[in-house]
Structure 1
Amino acid sequence: MSRTDLPSPARIVFLDRESLPTETVLRSPDFPHAFVAFERSAPDEVAERIADADIVITNKVPVRAEAIAGADRLRLIAVSATGTDMVDLKACAAHGIVVSNVRDYACTTVPEHTFALIFALRRSLLAYHQSVRGGRWQTASQFCFLDHPIGDLAGSTIGIIGGGALGGAVGDIARALGMTVLFAGRKGATPAEGKVAFEEVLARGDVITLHVPLTPETRGMIGAPEFALMARHPILINTARGGLVDETALGAALASGQIAGAGFDVASAEPPPADHPLMALLDHPNFILTPHVAWASRDGAQALADQTIDNIEAFHAGAPRNVVGG
């Protein structure tokens, strides 16, 4: 049996259906199959649940080498997300298992969430809301009060780390708002044409926003040395992956004023435990944490679900698409 040949019916196992909004429609693949959907799967349940699967769908549930080794029938892992760091790609390659992911589905929802965080921080919306809630407006001597800084985006500079579809869409919005857009080159490398050295982007940006995958090369790419380069005291946005930023260093940078604020939609552990470094920042007036929902607009989630099934159908037809290498 070749890698793309499947029995009929094929057994499809979805490890974390609960990761999609309840209103998202997951259509049935157009070939004979048996479909088993678990709402959630603990790491120690994965091996048993995929042991007789031909196709596995996972969003964030890790599929590691030991589970892969026991899944003799497994031919495809369809990741219902863009990032594939939860799958052992080398083990998949060794066992002839194809891995596909979902791409470019979030080119509206993630950039819009990115700018929601940017607007909220640049205009101190949460700080003003909390002040009003605390009675500050009622005691003001004028018709308004100006306790918190307000900055326009027009005329400011945004540094975008990650030049893919999401970074490009963020750049398009930024230009429409009158911002100067800088795309960062790879850290530690001479920038390609049209890009600016990584360190220069950190130094010149009023806003720094991350749109790169989590890889061994990008893990911890923003830490204390990088915060020290941020001469314009920017706001830092991360709607990409937890682990890109040293979260302890982030807290220190906020406390010292090295950065003016931070908006994160991701954490290095999800859900974050009570003692996670980001949880300690929730009372900071210039820090916003949302629960990894930048991707999850109604349209974005539906596009993700549709493309996941598209990938499975393409594999069944013998023409795998969106294949991720090991």
Structure 2
Amino acid sequence: MARTHHRIVALETFFCPLPKFDACFPASHTFEVKEYARTKVSEIPERIRDADILVMTVIPIRADVLSEAVSPNLKMIGVVASGTDSVDLEACKKRGIHVANTPHCNATAVAEHAIASYFTARRSITLTHSLARSGEWPKRGTLLKTMDGPNGKPPMTCGSETMGIMGYGAVGKKIESVAKALGMKVLISARKGAPAGKGRTDFNTVIRESSVIVMCLPRTPETLNMISEPELDAMPNYSVLVNVSRGGMVDEKALVAALRAKKIAGAATDVFLQEPAGPETSPLLALDTADLNLVTTPHVAWCAEDTTDNYNESLKKNVSSWLEGAPTNKVV
């Protein structure tokens, strides 16, 4: 029996360990696998030179490394993530490189993280924790007023909340289910600038009427800076903003200004315009948050045991279906 040999190169296995490919496919296919826990952009050309299957998550795979001179054997890219904004899809299309992503694998984890972030911001948990740890409780006598919003009122409870959800894929639907179970009214936002269709609420109405807004949609040219100064100005001053989608969709400088001016009650973000993020690259992390209700996590909303299992199963399915000529989760 003739065998086809495949060279798989995985560039970022610290995100998700690889499945055992040889145990997954027919004997007519054999695999040579090279795994790298982390890869610098400058190391990409050398590492993918002999690959015909590339596995990656967020590292940028741009046109220069997709040229035949750099990656002459490359035929498939398996993206271990829902988003494919890190891959130059047009360059892949021109060369006939198949690209497949792994959607919905992290939906439960991201939805749960969004809800946890909402509670943390609404209840000022990070802020009051920091103040208590720094000795402010005995100095001030009470930290109770720290939980008040800019409207001067204590935090809302779920039955009084209206949650606006921006992005209604697998994550958005799970968030909706949890929010309704908690007693919230839910508004599903239409796209910014688009008319409200069936089951959707106009974007500007969602901005004005929601007490909590959760962003869980893909980053595209249309969604960059989707929420900036005009939207933050239009939000109720008791509102909370949660972003578990991608960095760049909320204008970070505008959000800092809104928090400082007490235009909104609080914010939580798991994502940043430039990642890995730090005080040098993000104004959100450069903030002195002594009296600001801001929750930051380092792009970990997706992380969960079942997410890893789901990614492995989806990646195996994508490679197997591509080999068999009936590709699933095809992007290009």
Quick one: structure 1 residues 272 and 137, their matched pair in 2 at CA, closer, same or farther if it must change by over 3 Å?
closer
232, 237, 241: which one aligns with 2:242: 237
Question: Which stretch of structure 1 is more off in the superposition, 126-135 or 265-274?
Answer: 126-135
CA distance in 2, matches of 1:75, 1:7: 17
Quick one: structure 1 residues 164 and 92, their matched pair in 2 at CA, closer, same or farther if it must change by over 3 Å?
same
Summarize deviations over 1:111-167 as a string: whole Å, max 9, x none. 11001111111111122223332345557878x945423321222100000011111
Task: Note if 1:27 corresponds to 2:20.
Answer: yes
TM-score (norm 1): 0.91
Equivalent position of 2:252 in the other structure: 247
Equivalent position of 1:218 in the other structure: 223
Counterpart mapping for 1:238-317 below 5 A: 238-275=243-280, 276-281=282-287, 283-284=289-290, 285-317=292-324
Cα deviation for residue 25 of structure 1 reads 5.9
CA distance in 1, matches of 2:207, 2:40: 39
CA distance in 2, matches of 1:138, 1:145: 12
Equivalent position of 1:36 in the other structure: 34
Runs of 4+ in 1 over 4 A off after TM superposition: 136-142
Equivalent position of 1:3 in the other structure: none
Cα deviation for residue 100 of structure 1 reads 0.4
Summarize deviations over 1:226-276 as a string: whole Å, max 9, x none. 112213441111111001111111101111112211100011111114322
Summarize deviations over 1:265-313 as a string: whole Å, max 9, x none. 0111111143221212362531111011100112112212221222111
Asked if 2 retains the 8 angstrom alpha-carbon contact of 1:157 and 1:180, the reply is: yes
Equivalent position of 2:210 in the other structure: 205
Quick one: structure 1 residues 7 and 50, their matched pair in 2 at CA, closer, same or farther if it must change by over 3 Å?
farther
Cα deviation for residue 192 of structure 1 reads 1.2
Equivalent position of 1:98 in the other structure: 98
CA RMSD after TM alignment: 2.0
Asked if 2 retains the 8 angstrom alpha-carbon contact of 1:238 and 1:263, the reply is: yes
Equivalent position of 1:111 in the other structure: 111
**Count, aligned residues:** 316
CA distance in 2, matches of 1:81, 1:7: 30
175, 188, 191: which one aligns with 1:186: 191
Quick one: structure 1 residues 193 and 180, their matched pair in 2 at CA, closer, same or farther if it must change by over 3 Å?
same
CA distance in 1, matches of 2:235, 2:145: 26
Quick one: structure 1 residues 134 and 38, their matched pair in 2 at CA, closer, same or farther if it must change by over 3 Å?
closer
CA distance in 2, matches of 1:39, 1:130: 34
Equivalent position of 2:64 in the other structure: 66
Question: Which stretch of structure 1 is more off in the superposition, 7-16 or 173-182?
Answer: 7-16
Q: Which amino acid aligns with 1:101?
A: N
TM-score (norm 2): 0.90
Question: Which stretch of structure 1 is more off in the superposition, 184-193 or 65-74?
Answer: 65-74
Per the alignment, in what secondary structure is the counterpart of residue 187 of structure 1? coil
Q: Which runs of 5+ in 2 are unaligned?
A: 149-154
CA distance in 2, matches of 1:248, 1:309: 41
Asked if 1 retains the 8 angstrom alpha-carbon contact of 2:270 and 2:298, the reply is: yes
Cα deviation for residue 44 of structure 1 reads 1.8
Quick one: structure 1 residues 210 and 7, their matched pair in 2 at CA, closer, same or farther if it must change by over 3 Å?
farther
CA distance in 2, matches of 1:282, 1:82: 33
Q: Which amino acid aligns with 1:58?
A: M
Per the alignment, in what secondary structure is the counterpart of residue 164 of structure 2? strand
CA distance in 2, matches of 1:242, 1:323: 24
| Percent of residue pairs bearing the same amino acid type | 37
Per the alignment, in what secondary structure is the counterpart of residue 118 of structure 1? helix
CA distance in 2, matches of 1:123, 1:324: 40
